Amino acid sequence: MRYGPFIERFWSRVEKNGPVPEYRPELGPCWIWIGTLRNGYGRINIGGKKLVTAHRWLWEHKRGLVPKGFELDHLCRVRRCVNLLHLEVVTARTNWLRGSSPTLKNLSKTHCQKGHPYDEANTYYPPDRGGRARACKECARERGRQYKARHHERVIQAHRDYRKKQAQLRAHKS
């Protein structure tokens, strides 16, 4: 592949005077991809056939292939950034643990919304969620008590209604 015109096209889509990341200001300014985006990541067309992420293409062009089982982590947390100094080759797990996804935020919680601890005695993993979620046993017990109280009241009311209807039927027959 001829890289001359392609490299010029690539760099025409990069703004090197981007913002300094709040998360890691010591990294310096981001190089912001101003071309096509997908899920926040820069995308570039290779040879008219294949769309690849811009940051990965630049990494592989300048530093070599990313080893199998690894991926590039944006240390700056800016998906559009293609600055090689802001990228690091890491495992998917490391990249995920460094992130700020809702799942990761929930995993870092030590107590449920009602203040009960997420510890071995008070935590269970619902089987319908494939072991990927946790729940508070005490909150589940409380929901059970509330359901039982509501259900019990409905049964009693239904029984009262039935007895009233039976009395009306007996009165009507007389």
Classified by CATH at the fold level, domain 4-100 comes out as Homing Intron 3 (I-Ppo) Encoded Endonuclease; Chain A (3.90.75)
Q: Name the 3-class secondary structure at 158.
A: helix
Average pLDDT over residues 142-157: 91
- Model confidence, pTM: 0.62
Q: What is the DSSP letter of 109?
A: -
Query: How much of the chain exceeds pLDDT 90, in percent?
Result: 64
Give 62-115 pLDDT, tens digit per residue. Answer: 999 999 999 999 999 999 999 999 999 999 989 988 887 787 788 788 999 999
Q: Tell me how far apart the 2 most distant CA atoms of the chain are, in Å.
A: 104
pLDDT band at residue 1 under the 50/70/90 scheme: very low
Sequence-separated contacts (24+) of 58-61 with Cβ below 8 Å: 58/10, 58/82, 58/84, 59/84, 59/87, 61/3
| Token duo for residue 119 | 């510890």
